[in-house]
Chain A
Amino acid sequence: MFKRLWAVILKETREFVRDPLYVSLVVIGPILMLVMFGYGMDMDVEELHMVAVDHDNSEYSRELLEKFQHDNTFLLQETIYSTAQAEEMLKAAEARFALVIPPDFGSKISRGEQAELEALAEATYTTQAQTALGYAEAIAQQYLDQIWRRRGGEGSGGESSGESWLRGLPFSIGLQHNVWFNPDLESKNYLIPGLYAIVLTYFPAVIASFMFVRERETGTDLNYLASTAQPWEIVFGKAIPYGLVVSLVQFVLAAIALGIFQVRFQGSLLLLFLAGTFYIFCTIGLGLFISVLCRTQISALIITVVAVLLPSFMYSGLYGPVAPDEPLALAISHLVPAYYFVTICRGIFLKGLGLTYYAFEVAALFVLTLFIYGVAISAFSKRRKK
């Protein structure tokens, strides 16, 4: 029986190698996607276009705006004098953020009273808006610290961070930050290991999804339908040579992540490749299953994009850990194979965890893979019986 499997593998390998178009997509696709998305997907909120509405136009308000100008989060584009105009600018997306300084701002600060500010954020991109509002608040507090420091005559400290200027004042509490795993808080460090996992989900699946359809389109699938090879032999015979080629692409992908993007890497490369190879076979199975169901390559492409690519992006925890208190989110992400592999990759890259830490993810992937191949094989044998 392995003789027949071997024969199928040989045939598939030969066909695969003979098709330069597919080989190049298998190799170039993932690399291109990792490089493009690695550069393009930047979740750091930086240089957010901002306008200031300075009704006060005092020494104090200008000083506050200077703080915004020096902060990398905002890009102060212009100072205007009408709140309505600022709202129009946000409406037209000419700016994403506006700071409104009321006319009495400076006088209240100088008299030692409570001053107010209004922060307007264009909230289409909800997460970005929320981050921007948080940063604005932090900058305002820094400015206040500066005022206090000046009042206390302790200007010697220079640009000291946080509340250190208060030190010595009874009941002031210092706060020390200690960032683990990703000390510079760069989004690339958690996005790229995730993208690495997504790339290994999408391309293997999308190309595998053409395998049966392509034969169906050219009519060569009749050979298989009539052959003595068992359905499982045909499915594995297609998956194995292709999976091994994609496994080699992993090395290039890892080299890009570490070389070009300089992502932190704490774990073992061997472990990453072993887990990756197994995972590639899982996603190929997914593609093969879609391939059995479809009539044309384009509908296979549509189904793979809608049912594999989009869920992998949305529910794998690529942008952040899946909220543990949302039952729907948890349920969906546990059905998405990418969820487990994103978790594993991020753990290996950033935390240097061994596979034992991920016993659950590995076991779940294993079960999913078995299930996927099970349905793929049974769908294929059903089609053959027709």
Chain B
Amino acid sequence: MFGRIFTLLGKEFAQLLQDKALLGIILYGFTIAIYTAASVFIFEPREASVIILDHSRSEPSRELVHKLQEPHFEIRDFVSSEADIERYLMEERAALALVIPPDFQERLPRGDAQVELVLDGTMSVTATMAAQFISSIVHDYGVQLRRRHGIDAAGPSLTVHPRPLFNPDLKHEWFGGLIEFLFMMTIFGMLLTAAALVREKEHGTLEQLAVSPASSFEILVAKLMMAVIVCLIFSTLSLFGIIQTLFGFPINQQVFLFYGATALFLFTMSGLGVAIAAVTENISQATLALILLLTPMLFLSGVVMPVENLPGFMYWGSYIFPLRYYLEISFATLVRGAGFFVVAPQLLLMTVLGLFFFAFSVYYFHRTV
């Protein structure tokens, strides 16, 4: 039996090597795509670009502007009219504008000075964060001025020490690289086996296989193993060769647990791909079903935001996506260093799904061929 599986496996690899376009995209997906996804920050910039409209042109107004500094702000320009603000915000050359009215200096001692902040609401994260920072900068400046003028306004103050765990420097590279990695594992895990099976079907070589001494179990195992082996090799390349080496992501926790889960995930995903290829009547149907399953799975399994952010019915719906479990396991083991007991429920559910898909495809395959 193992001899036959081994022979079939050799055949699978020989067939894969013939498809140059597919090979090229596998290589691209696990190397260049992961490199760029890690290098490019896809979310709104943390540093808000700000323009200043200073009608006051006084010492305190300049002093206040001076306090808007990196890392939170970058002053793009000083403008001279409201129309300029509109132009900058329209063209997305700035995310916010600080307007200081002409009577700023005179009003300061009276305590009714006002400044205005114009925000581009289409960048809601940048706008909210910037508004918070500016509000505390303005507040602190008032405190500083009072102290300078000897006005006693002593009282409690509060400092919040932020401590991001597991990624202390909030390196987006790690997150970007990992999610692209998960994308690739999902796509290739699901489609490589399906592609191999469909190719056989359309060339009519599936019948040849069926009349060969190999059982449908052995044929399927060989196809699944091909996808699992290819993805395991390439995942090691991208995890260690790119995400660790080039972006300094430490892969030293729970590596074995992670690899075990990875093999299980690939088994589940290939099983799903084969199950779809088995139940559909022709290639077109299979491809369409794969699209309709793959697309939501890629983006609604917690890849960009945690699954908790999904609305109720989608949150429950996402339980059918193997990627959801794998993502939770990957983040837990690789990033947070969580152990077996934390990820046990996900492992269990993924195993159940995987066995179900596999049994289902063996059964269907046996019947149709």
Partner-B contacts on A (CB < 8 A): 19, 21-22, 25, 29, 32-33, 36-37, 39-44, 46-47, 49, 87, 90-93, 96, 108-131, 133-138, 140-141, 143-144, 147-148, 151, 162-163, 166-187, 189-190, 202, 206, 210, 214, 217, 293-299, 301-303, 305-307, 309-310, 313-315, 318-321, 323, 326, 328-329, 332, 346, 350-351, 353, 357
Question: For A36, A128, A134, A353, which residue has the most chain B Cβ atoms within 10 angstroms?
Answer: A134
- Please name 6 pairs of A and B residues whose Cβ atoms are closer than 8 Å in the assembled complex, sorted by A: A93-B342, A170-B151, A171-B146, A176-B116, A186-B124, A306-B25
Question: Which residues of chain B from 106 to 127 have a CB within 8 Å of any chain A CB?
Answer: 108-127
Cβ of B231 under 8 Å from chain A:
no
B202 to chain A: closest residue by CB: A217
Tell me the complex Cα distance, A183–B118, Å.
11
Question: For B122, B160, B187, which residue has the most chain A Cβ atoms within 10 angstroms?
Answer: B122
Cβ of B260 under 8 Å from chain A:
no
Cβ of B195 under 8 Å from chain A:
yes
Besides A131-B128, A177-B117, A178-B118, 19 other A-B contacts (C-beta < 8 A): A32-B292, A41-B300, A96-B308, A109-B158, A113-B156, A124-B175, A127-B44, A128-B306, A129-B164, A136-B160, A137-B132, A141-B139, A163-B138, A169-B111, A171-B111, A171-B146, A295-B19, A302-B25, A320-B42
* Contact of B161 with A118 in the complex, beta carbons under 8 Å: yes
Instruction: Write the nearest CB–CB distance from A179 to chain B, whole angstroms.
Output: 4
* Contact of A299 with B19 in the complex, beta carbons under 8 Å: yes
Partner-A contacts on B (CB < 8 A): 19, 21-22, 25, 28-29, 33, 36-37, 39-46, 64, 89-92, 108-129, 131-136, 138-139, 141-142, 145-146, 149, 151, 153-168, 170-172, 174-175, 180, 183-184, 187-188, 191, 194-195, 198-199, 202, 283-288, 290-292, 294-296, 298-300, 304-306, 308-311, 314, 328, 331-332, 335-338, 342
Instruction: List the A side residues contacting B136 at CB < 8 Å.
Output: 137, 141
* Contact of A320 with B121 in the complex, beta carbons under 8 Å: no
Instruction: List the A side residues contacting B117 at CB < 8 Å.
Output: 175-178
B162 to chain A: closest residue by CB: A133
If A43-B305, A118-B163, A171-B151 touch, whether A185 touches B311 (CB-CB below 8 Å) is: no
* Contact of A172 with B142 in the complex, beta carbons under 8 Å: yes
* Contact of A91 with B114 in the complex, beta carbons under 8 Å: no
Which 4 A-B pairs rank lowest in CB-CB distance, beginning with the nearest?
A320-B44, A182-B121, A123-B164, A298-B195
* Contact of B149 with A117 in the complex, beta carbons under 8 Å: no
* Contact of B89 with A180 in the complex, beta carbons under 8 Å: yes
* Contact of B120 with A180 in the complex, beta carbons under 8 Å: yes
Instruction: List the A side residues contacting B299 at CB < 8 Å.
Output: 37, 40-41, 313
Tell me the complex Cα distance, A307–B138, Å.
46
Instruction: List the B side residues contacting A92 at CB < 8 Å.
Output: 332, 338, 342
Instruction: List the A side residues contacting B286 at CB < 8 Å.
Output: 298
* Contact of B160 with A140 in the complex, beta carbons under 8 Å: yes
State which of A119, A135, A176 has its C-beta within 8 Å of the C-beta of B115.
Answer: A176
Instruction: Write the nearest CB–CB distance from B13 to chain A, whole angstroms.
Output: 16
* Contact of B158 with A117 in the complex, beta carbons under 8 Å: yes
State which of A136, A151, A177, A318 has its C-beta within 8 Å of the C-beta of B119.
Answer: A177
Instruction: List the B side residues contacting A108 at CB < 8 Å.
Output: 156
A96 to chain B: closest residue by CB: B306
* Contact of A115 with B124 in the complex, beta carbons under 8 Å: no
Instruction: Write the nearest CB–CB distance from B67 to chain A, whole angstroms.
Output: 12
* Contact of B290 with A298 in the complex, beta carbons under 8 Å: yes
Instruction: List the B side residues contacting A130 at CB < 8 Å.
Output: 46, 129, 164, 170
Instruction: List the B side residues contacting A22 at CB < 8 Å.
Output: 284, 288
Instruction: Write the nearest CB–CB distance from B314 to chain A, whole angstroms.
Output: 5
* Contact of A119 with B163 in the complex, beta carbons under 8 Å: yes
* Contact of A301 with B290 in the complex, beta carbons under 8 Å: yes
Instruction: List the A side residues contacting B25 at CB < 8 Å.
Output: 299, 302-303, 306-307
Tell me the complex Cα distance, A303–B311, Å.
31
Instruction: List the A side residues contacting B119 at CB < 8 Å.
Output: 177-180
* Contact of A302 with B37 in the complex, beta carbons under 8 Å: no
Instruction: List the A side residues contacting B121 at CB < 8 Å.
Output: 179-185, 189
Tell me the complex Cα distance, A60–B43, Å.
37
* Contact of B300 with A40 in the complex, beta carbons under 8 Å: yes
If A180-B118, A302-B22, A314-B37 touch, whether A297 touches B284 (CB-CB below 8 Å) is: yes
* Contact of B155 with A151 in the complex, beta carbons under 8 Å: yes
A304 to chain B: closest residue by CB: B291
Instruction: Write the nearest CB–CB distance from A330 to chain B, whole angstroms.
Output: 9
* Contact of A115 with B191 in the complex, beta carbons under 8 Å: no
Tell me the complex Cα distance, A25–B188, Å.
22
State which of A91, A181, A323, A332 has its C-beta within 8 Å of the C-beta of B122.
Answer: A181
Instruction: List the A side residues contacting B155 at CB < 8 Å.
Output: 112, 147-148, 151
A161 to chain B: closest residue by CB: B135
* Contact of A328 with B39 in the complex, beta carbons under 8 Å: yes
If A137-B160, A306-B28 touch, whether A127 touches B33 (CB-CB below 8 Å) is: no
Instruction: List the B side residues contacting A162 at CB < 8 Å.
Output: 135
Instruction: List the B side residues contacting A112 at CB < 8 Å.
Output: 154-156
* Contact of B170 with A123 in the complex, beta carbons under 8 Å: yes
Instruction: List the A side residues contacting B165 at CB < 8 Å.
Output: 87, 90-91, 120-123
Instruction: List the A side residues contacting B167 at CB < 8 Å.
Output: 123-124, 126, 129
Instruction: Write the nearest CB–CB distance from B85 to chain A, whole angstroms.
Output: 9
Tell me the complex Cα distance, A189–B172, Å.
24
Tell me the complex Cα distance, A320–B283, Å.
38
* Contact of B295 with A172 in the complex, beta carbons under 8 Å: no
Instruction: List the B side residues contacting A321 at CB < 8 Å.
Output: 44-45, 92, 123
